Amino acid sequence: MYKPGGPIIDALTRIQNNQYVLPAIQREFVWQPEQIAKLFDSLMQDYPIGTFLFWNVEAANSHKFKFYGFVRDYHKKDNPHCPDLGLLPNQNLTAILDGQQRLTALNIGLRGSMAMKIPYKWWNSPDAFPQSFLYLDLLAESDAEYEDSKYRLKFLEPSKAKGTGEELWFKVPKILKMEDGPSMFDWLTENHPTLGPIELKKAFRVLSSLHKTVHVKPLVHYYEETSQDIEKVLNIFIRLNSGGTVLSYSDLLLSVAVAQWSNLDARQEIHKLVDEINSIRDGFNFSKDFVLKAGLMLADISSVGFKVENFNHENMQKLESLWPKIRSAITLSVHLIADFGLNGQTLRADSAVLPIAYYLYHKNFSDTYRTHNSYDSDHNLIKGWLFRSLLKPSGIWGSGLDSLLTALRAVIKTSADNGFPVEALHQSMRQRGKSLTFEQEEVQELTSMKYGDKRVFLLLSLLYPFVDLRNQFHIDHIFPRSQFKPVQLKKDGFDDTQVELLRDLRDRLPNLQLLEGTENIQKQATLPIEWLKSKHSGSDREGSKKSIQDYCDRHDLGKLPEELKDFQKFYDTRQDKLKTRITNLINKSGISMTTTSAQTTT
């Protein structure tokens, strides 16, 4: 049944009083700050933003379903999830089937805040997630950043919302307690006495438009579904959510699990696990999809595909009963790959971890598996297999993933008595066109990888396992990037074609190495031979010369040139050595490794 619209302020009041709630089938809030600002601009311009769909849950049925509240103060790390409202028996509720993202955006913009991660800041840094609020520039009636935006709205930290003579930032949540008309004009003159007549008129017009948008305009139009049949409601929801911001199908399946777990809260358990494994070591980017698929795989559900039939009552009861053991195996597997030096920047495919998690689960390993030296050879087998699968340029973990995972699970169940079954896994993968053997064309591609490719760290740590990576390491340019400035290269006699070539070769694998963070900082823009001489200057002349030669031999640097004019010869020589080393090493099953931790900065 269609219902005419009401003002935004009424919807916010119902959200605040938990009269508007979110059913478990709803996903998390996924909008970016720019999308929220865009929504407010659209509303202030009277653009249509779509009709909402509400589900009227009768008081007699409210105890049967799981409901969540709306996010208000969103924090990407500490508060990204919808709050659990607990049991709500004997209450008439309005559950939002379509419009959650829009209503949450209004709730955040008018009542709350956002704390998004600043690029390049460490996940655990205390200043990586500054709190920001939605502000409206009262002196700008258009946003230069977006051609179709009439109003300028931004999420800003309060310290950055002071404004200049050309800006007047108004904190949007303040509009909730303001009145339009003369009192609003008085507020502007009292709080901003330096505004001239033209600016004052412009500010009043913009602020009044915001007030009308929130308090007056009937914007919340909706259809109301009154059926109490959850199957019908679920079908409506699935049909509605085929477009818009990507809705993970696992969100719907998670809602099914939520409804069928008896003793544990599936949603809370999965969210907690995602948060936990993403905070391990330097941080990862695992999703609910990963955890759900891991649950299907480790619980030995016949198929690991995201299909409704796999989430039936029997399977979900099995998953719940095995959850503590499954959770431990998933956590242990992520700790293990973190020991290998992987993090969210270098793990190319989350699904590659699933066979490892199943192996640890099947063997019932505890945390001592990571640390006891009796398992070193097993670690080497796992790491060699994992890294080779991640290095494949064609991608192992893409198409046909579900059938591949099901097959690898079967191999591990029957072939893991004597350790991680690398050969049996490889044979199964090869039968599916996913061989871990590298052809010469692939070796050539590996030696030409550019800085920033996630595979660079993987390959360097395989090729040079003697490097102690227990400390933080950087991927370093052997010949520093700063040496390749076009102006300087042309002064050194290189023509335009040579300059372009050298600047391209600068960022490729033959000019990259793993270097401890402190050493990389010390090295900075120094030519490699000069840096090595300085590094080993404490020894006698012969000792220093031998130390430099040993370092060059271990890292396949050859005879380091004294000047940049010989860089291309160095590059070609090292590329040939890398090809030989890769060919000799990469197609072996077991590869000796050390515990690692690295980051990709220079």
| Residue for token pair 């699904």 | 351
- Give the per-residue pLDDT at 101: 94
- The angle that helices 230-240 and 249-260 make with each other, rounded to 10 degrees, is 160
- Give the per-residue pLDDT at 522: 59
**Domain end point (choices 392, 419, 437):** 437
Cα separation values, 486 from 176, 501, 570, 572, Å: 56, 11, 20, 21
Q: Are residues 509 and 556 in the same domain?
A: yes
Q: Are residues 491 and 573 in the same domain?
A: yes
| 337 alpha-carbon distance from chain centroid | 17
Domain assignment present for residue 296? The answer is yes
Q: Are residues 503 and 400 in the same domain?
A: no
Segments of the chain scoring below 70 in pLDDT? 141-147, 230-231, 234-235, 238-252, 255-256, 259, 308, 467-472, 517-523, 538-540, 543, 587-602
Q: Are residues 108 and 159 in the same domain?
A: yes
* Parallel, antiparallel or unpaired: strands 469-477 and 153-156: unpaired
Give the count of domains, the chain: 3
Q: What is the pTM of this model?
A: 0.62
- Structural domain including 216 reads 2-221
Domain assignment present for residue 25? The answer is yes
Cα separation values, 2 from 54, 221, 222, 227, 598, Å: 10, 8, 6, 14, 57
**DSSP H or E stretch at residue 341:** strand 340-341
**Domain end point (choices 437, 458, 489):** 437
- Give the per-residue pLDDT at 525: 76
| Residue for token pair 């709630």 | 21
Helices (H), 7-72: 8-16, 33-44
Q: Are residues 272 and 407 in the same domain?
A: yes
Q: Are residues 474 and 575 in the same domain?
A: yes
pLDDT by residue (tens digit) across 523-547? 677 889 998 888 887 666 776 888 8
Q: What angle do CA 426, 432, 436 make, to 5 degrees?
A: 35
- Which residues, listed in sequence order, are joined to residue 133 by a DSSP beta bridge? 156
Q: Are residues 151 and 38 in the same domain?
A: yes
- Give the per-residue pLDDT at 381: 94
Q: Are residues 196 and 53 in the same domain?
A: yes
Q: Are residues 259 and 366 in the same domain?
A: yes
Domain assignment present for residue 236? The answer is no
Diameter of the chain measured on Cα atoms: 90
- Give the per-residue pLDDT at 260: 72
Domain assignment present for residue 459? The answer is yes
Token pair recorded at residue 70 = 């709306």
- Give the per-residue pLDDT at 230: 66
Domain assignment present for residue 176? The answer is yes
Domain assignment present for residue 240? The answer is no
**Domain end point (choices 410, 437, 464):** 437
- Give the per-residue pLDDT at 515: 82
